[in-house]
Amino acid sequence: MTPVEERNVACFNRFVEEGLNQKKIGSMVEEIVAHNLIMEAPGVPMIDGRLNGMEIFRFFTTSFIDAFPDVKCSLAHCIATGDVVAVDILYEGTHAKEFAGVPATNKYIKGGELWYMKFANGKIRNLRICEYGTPLRNMLLE
């Protein structure tokens, strides 16, 4: 890996380990996410993701770790090329509080997301999140 790729992967690994697994996301968002982040994710209207990407990122990530107090996240795959990093992030934990419109189920769930990121100056500038397995949304159908 090039030094730029190593820096970008280290930034994302820090987000997973410190931010999600150690529940320290609030103190690190400004360090890892560009103020003008463009975010595309399920449930985020495109205009909102362009105008308020950083705040939406902060809200969803802090809401996620609040809703899953025992969450553990890991990377199944991570690919970096230049300023682009693609990861397959796995998560599991107890759904103890409402998240993304889904009321607490108190079930232990496992899921995954594909994150595609473009970095600028060592911070996430563009973010696209693609769910798979959609365990939370499936719970709405039960």
Indicate whether 47 pLDDT > 70. Answer: yes
pLDDT band at 134 (very low <50, low <70, confident <90, very high): low
Give the pLDDT of residue 133: 65
- Based on C-alpha coordinates, what's the Rg of the chain? 15
Give the pLDDT of residue 63: 92
Record the pTM. Answer: 0.87
Q: Domains in the chain, please, with CATH?
A: 3-135 (3.10.450.50)
Assess contact for 109 and 40: CB atoms under 8 A.
no
- Mean of per-residue pLDDT scores for the chain: 90
Other beta carbons less than 10 A from residue 13's beta carbon = 13
Mean pLDDT of the 56-65 span:
93
Q: What is the residue type of 94? A: T
Indicate whether 66 pLDDT > 60. Answer: yes
